[in-house]
Amino acid sequence: MPLDHYVTLGRSGLRVSPLCLGAMTFGADFGWGSSVKDSEAIIDRYVALGGNFIDTANMYTKGHSEKIIGDHVGRDKARRDRLVLATKFSGNLYPGDPNGGGSNRKSILAACEQSLRRLQTDYIDLYWLHNWDKHTPIDETMAALDDLVHSGKVRYLGVSDTPAWKVAEAQVTARFRSWTAFIGLQIEYSLLERTVEGELVPMARELGLGITPWSPLKSGILSGKYTRQNAGQLKSDRGAWADAHLTDKSYALLDELQHVAKQLDTTVARVAIAWVQGRPGVTSTIIGARTLAQLEDNLKAPDVKLASEHVAKLDELTKPTLGFPAEFAPLFPMVQNGGTTINGESAPIAPFVPSQPGDHY
């Protein structure tokens, strides 16, 4: 699937590329990102190949990420209008100011104006709540966001890194009050982070949220540079964030990814991204690249066609523990279906219910 084979995001008509360009690494302010020149080259190559979906946040590289995008794209209105620019609020860039971040009305409106200035545009296509602010009622957040949409400064809304129950409250509240609802859910999702399949993924599919996974390569662990053979020899530039995941389980997965990549004449990174992109509910996977070479490799992931046996093996190696009630849910059809098949799902009759019609009190 090429970048210009667009998909609609969630319950909306917004067309986006199947791979989204993540801009968290734009700017070297944290010591490991891309230079301004390299960031611009990455944007140009992504757009030249048909990509139209760029994702950043107000706090990425202290605001420099947004500024790089604004300087290179925002000031060219014709080019900017062809793109779907997404950014996030919640991050506080102003030490000592309690309203400098979070999700209250004051902070949201200020953050939006600041992002518009850095991006050099008069509207944001997709505005994400970056993470849940437990100190602000969700109806205050949704009302403020709805005002931004009606003002024309924001086109669509999304939510990131927030518990499923709180997203559900926000979504239902918005619909009952005729406010603008979320169309996207941004969550960490990879072969090494599948616990989202317990609550977040089913919630998104039920409530019309297109899933845009971040870190499909788990901070580079699944990029292909780490192998069982070089275990302990390579140190991640992200330190403990990535090193903690270099475990026996990860190396077993990497062994299988290498095996699949060799069979399909592709790379480990592409296989890992293709697996994420093929998950139910996933719309557009966010890829981050610090170099053009990384970008070129990752952008070929949609061309990888995993066989059912490949997916089954990868699923088996990474099966998560989902917790209650997700772990209990496979038993429900046995209790509910009465031995019949419903929507293609069959289950035997539970041993503690009647086996024949009328065989009950």
The residues carrying an active-site annotation are 60
The span from the first CA to the last CA of the chain, in angstroms, equals: 57
Please give the C-alpha separations between residue 346 and each of 40, 60, 319, in angstroms, as whole numbers: 53, 48, 22
Pairing of strands 7-8, 341-342: unpaired
Q: How far apart are CA 58 and CA 73, in angstroms?
A: 16
In 195-249, at which residue ranges do the beta strands (DSSP E only) sit? 210-214
Torsion sign, CA atoms 24, 25, 30, 35: negative
Q: Are strands 19-22 and 15-16 parallel, antiparallel or unpaired?
A: unpaired
Nearest to 293 by CA among 23, 38, 72: 38
